[in-house]
């Protein structure tokens, strides 16, 4: 891997991040890629709404619902991967967060997912009161499940036929990691 840097998303990078997310999500289920988003193929996410929601949520403290901290991996000036940490929508679950990991097709299977997850886990341990990290991963994404298991995440359940993307039933696995 080259000198790709991992940085915390701030407002100055927000538009570039949303553009990256659009490109990343548009790869789901096409050109030999696994389906990794629960949206129909070619779904257009409303950019202005994403800019506002993410922009608002990255400013929230950990004590607020729906806070967000996102690490992005830069390859030069391009975003090539992300790990989005999000606070729960209920006050009673603010001791937990959810992580969503994604990367461009060109940088997969190079150890970047592991690096992004390890960075996020260590950052949460030293910079937050979060006690558990939760994630959801489609059952057919065995490479991701293997990575999360190696990082210490425990499998806690499966929602069978949770999503139907273009008519295809998709099972969704829930995994969790206790931080403290």
* pLDDT, tens only, 108-156: 888 889 999 999 999 999 999 999 999 999 999 999 999 999 999 999 9
Confidence at residue 33, expressed as pLDDT on a 0 to 100 scale: 67
List C-alpha distances in Å: 21 to 61, 70, 102, 131, 172: 23, 12, 9, 27, 21
Higher pLDDT, 106 or 159: 159
Q: How far apart are CA 65 and CA 90, in angstroms?
A: 6
Count of CA atoms in the C-beta half-sphere (13 A) of 159: 11
What is the pLDDT, as a whole number, of residue 1?
45
Which domains are seen in the chain, by residue range?
5-178 (3.40.630.30)
Q: What is the pLDDT of residues 73-100, one digit of tens each?
A: 998 899 999 999 999 999 999 999 999 9
When pLDDT is cut at 50, 70 and 90, the band that residue 6 belongs to is: very high
Question: Quick check: helix, strand or coil at residue 178?
Answer: strand
- Please check whether residue 85 is in contact with residue 56, taking contact to mean a CB–CB distance below 8 angstroms: no
Instruction: Tell me what the mean pLDDT of segment 162-171 comes to.
Output: 90
**pLDDT at 32 (0 to 100):** 66
Question: Which pLDDT value is given to residue 4?
Answer: 87
Residues 13-35 pLDDT 10s? 999 999 998 888 877 777 766 67
The pLDDT confidence band at residue 2, using thresholds 50, 70 and 90, is low
**Is the separation of the CB atoms in 30 and 41 below 8 Å?**
yes
């Amino acid at each position: 891997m080259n000198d790709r840097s991992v940085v915390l998303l701030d407002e100055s990078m927000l538009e570039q991040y949303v553009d990256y997310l659009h490109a990343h999500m548009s790869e789901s289920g096409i050109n030999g890629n696994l389906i990794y988003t629960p949206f129909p193929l070619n779904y257009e996410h409303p950019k202005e709404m994403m800019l506002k929601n993410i922009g608002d949520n990255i400013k929230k403290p950990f004590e607020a619902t729906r806070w967000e901290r996102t690490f992005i991996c830069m390859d030069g000036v391009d975003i090539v991967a992300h790990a989005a940490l999000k606070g729960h929508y209920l006050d009673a679950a603010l001791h937990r967060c959810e992580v969503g990991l994604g990367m461009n097709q060109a940088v997969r299977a190079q150890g970047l997912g592991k690096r992004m997850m390890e960075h996020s886990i260590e950052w949460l341990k030293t910079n937050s009161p979060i006690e558990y990290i939760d994630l959801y991963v489609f059952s057919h994404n065995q490479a991701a499940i293997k990575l999360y298991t190696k990082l210490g995440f425990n499998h806690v359940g499966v929602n069978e036929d949770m999503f139907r993307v273009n008519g295809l039933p998709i099972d969704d696995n829930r995994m969790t990691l206790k931080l403290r």
